[in-house]
């Protein structure tokens, strides 16, 4: 079958597009014909070797997939041929990736696509929206009525976090560029603070005079001194990006006010946690509440170029790779 793959870890130049052996599904797997896959920063970490995880060569790259069930194993009774499905956790811990014509997905990591949902929208949202859910609810323990500060509120993960927090009854302060203020308000943020403003922390405090109950930094800046200072007593700061950052941890401010810092990676999420996120995302997809801001669809043959652009910081929105012929070739503009 045709796939985008590597035979060793390293630069995007090592990505090849060609024939690899088809997957050999186990009894608990579902064989899926792939329509589209997305390109994530974590895909570049695995491909380059920056994030060490078991990688079987030739290794198919990619994490997210939307497609149609071809065959379900006896241990996957919930799926049948013809079901449209999605997954956001391939290409890690020994699992082959998603950028192939056909993939084998463990049944407990596969979810039905809501009827009428667009494949490109769904695959573009699968990873960032799952990350946002885990940050807010699984690790951030967010509750209705709390004040939530979201750094990078106009980005892929941040935008999904703003939508989910607002929908769940939180008071949301988004930190983004001034140009994105209206967009963030449209997602549900009650207040928007310009991240380039030197007085940004003061502005956040003005909108959260009793402190933030939850601080989620999707930008990867990880200024923990500022973040912890902004927290309310028993407030939580969630770290989920910024692989190479080395922030100062203000221990005194943490323990004197019962504050906490919690780090997580979606790649380490348990299947039941991912399933909870998927159910939440499906509901927001079905009613149109959650949509990607911008997508660009490229053919599978441009997988290496997609990785180059992402690593160079030259991507606005989300890059999607078209695997199956006949899938859409366009995208949505910001």
Q: Which two tokens stand for residue 296?
A: 């660009």
Least confident of 35-39, 132-136, 163-167, 323-327: 323-327
Please give the Cα distance from 290 to 159 (Å, whole number): 9
- Residue 176 parent element (H or E): strand 171-176
Q: For residue 157, which phi and psi values (nearest 5 degrees)?
A: -75, -45
Give strand pairing partners of 212.
231
Q: Among positive and negative, which fits the CA dihedral 188, 209, 144, 129?
A: positive
pLDDT tens per residue across span 266-281: 999 999 999 999 999 9
Q: Residue 317 and residue 205: Cα distance in Å, rounded?
A: 29
pLDDT at 334 over 60: no
293 token code pair: 């801001």
From 123, 158, 102, select the one nearest 324 (Cα to Cα): 102
Q: Give, in order, the Cα–Cα distances in Å from 203 to each of 84, 206, 213, 216, 272.
A: 45, 5, 16, 17, 38
Residue 326 pLDDT exceeds 80: no
> What average pLDDT does range 31-51 have in this prediction?
96
Q: Give the model's pLDDT for residue 256.
A: 87
Q: Nearest CA to 270 among 71, 68, 93, 5?
A: 93
Q: Is the dihedral of CA 63, 68, 73, 77 positive or negative?
A: positive
Region of poorest pLDDT, from 1-15, 54-68, 97-111, 250-264: 250-264
pTM score, two decimals? 0.95
Q: How far apart are CA 216 and CA 27, in angstroms?
A: 39
Ordered domains of the chain (ranges, CATH)? 2-113+294-322 (3.90.180.10), 128-267 (3.90.180.10)
Residue with tokens 């997602």: 187
Per-residue DSSP letter, 139: I
pLDDT band at residue 323, thresholds of 50, 70 and 90? very high
Structure tokens at 176: 């983004």
* pLDDT value, residue 333: 53
* The pLDDT of residue 107: 98
Would you say residue 181 has pLDDT above 80?
Answer: yes
**DSSP label of 88:** S
Query: Mean pLDDT for the chain?
Result: 95
Cβ(142)–Cβ(177) below 8 Å = no
Please tell me the distance from the alpha carbon of residue 237 to that of residue 139, in angstroms, as a whole number. Answer: 10
CA-closest candidate to residue 97, choices 122, 63, 120, 68: 63
Q: In this structure, what DSSP letter does residue 244 have?
A: T
The pLDDT value given to residue 254: 87
Angle at 34 between CA 52 and CA 38, to 5 degrees: 50
pLDDT at 319 over 90: yes
Q: How confident is the model at residue 330 (pLDDT cuts 50, 70, 90)?
A: low
**Quick one: pLDDT band at residue 328, thresholds 50, 70, 90?**
low
Q: Which residues contact 241 (CB under 8 A, 6 or more apart)?
A: 41, 157, 217, 218, 219, 220, 222
Q: Single out the residue of 211, 261, 227 nearest to residue 151, CA to CA.
A: 227
Query: How much is the pLDDT for 327?
Result: 58
- For 291, what's the count of Cα atoms within 13 Å in the CB-facing half-sphere? 14
pLDDT of residue 253: 87
Mean pLDDT of the 59-83 span: 97
Cβ atoms within 10 Å of 305's Cβ, excluding its own: 13
What is the per-residue pLDDT for 332? Answer: 62
**How large a percentage of the chain has pLDDT more than 90?**
91
CB atoms within 10 A of CB 58: 16
Give me 214's structure tokens. Answer: 């939850």
Residue at token pair 């203000």 = 250
């Amino acid at each position: 079958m045709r796939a985008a793959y590597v035979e060793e870890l390293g630069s995007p130049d090592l990505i090849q597009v060609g024939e690899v052996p088809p997957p050999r599904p186990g009894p608990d797997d579902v064989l899926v014909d792939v329509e589209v896959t997305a390109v994530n920063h974590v895909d570049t970490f695995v491909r380059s070797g920056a994030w060490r995880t078991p990688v079987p060569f030739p290794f198919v790259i990619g994490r997210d997939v939307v497609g149609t069930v071809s065959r379900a194993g006896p241990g996957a009774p919930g799926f049948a041929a013809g079901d449209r499905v999605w997954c956001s956790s391939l290409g890690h811990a020994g699992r082959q990736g998603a950028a192939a014509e056909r993939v084998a997905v463990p049944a407990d990591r596969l979810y039905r696509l809501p009827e009428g949902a667009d494949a490109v929208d769904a695959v573009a949202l699968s990873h960032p929206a799952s990350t946002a859910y885990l940050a807010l609810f699984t690790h951030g323990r967010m509750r209705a009525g709390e004040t939530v500060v979201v750094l990078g509120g106009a980005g892929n993960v941040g935008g999904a976090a703003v939508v989910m927090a607002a929908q769940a009854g939180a008071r949301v302060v988004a930190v983004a560029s001034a140009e994105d203020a209206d967009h963030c308000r449209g997602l549900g943020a009650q207040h928007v603070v310009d991240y380039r403003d030197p007085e940004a922390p003061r502005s956040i405090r003005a909108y959260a005079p009793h402190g933030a109950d939850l601080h989620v930094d999707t930008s990867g800046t990880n200024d923990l001194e500022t973040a912890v200072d902004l927290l309310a007593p028993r407030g939580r700061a969630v770290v989920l990006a910024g692989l190479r950052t080395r922030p100062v941890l203000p221990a005194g401010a943490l323990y004197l006010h019962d504050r906490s810092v919690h780090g997580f990676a979606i790649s380490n999420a348990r299947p039941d946690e991912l399933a909870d996120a998927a159910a939440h995302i499906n509901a927001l997809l079905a009613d149109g509440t959650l949509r990607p801001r911008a997508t660009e669809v490229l053919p599978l043959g441009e997988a290496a170029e997609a990785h180059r652009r992402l690593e160079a910081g030259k991507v606005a929105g989300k890059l999607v790779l078209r695997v199956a012929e006949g899938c859409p070739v366009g995208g949505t503009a910001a």
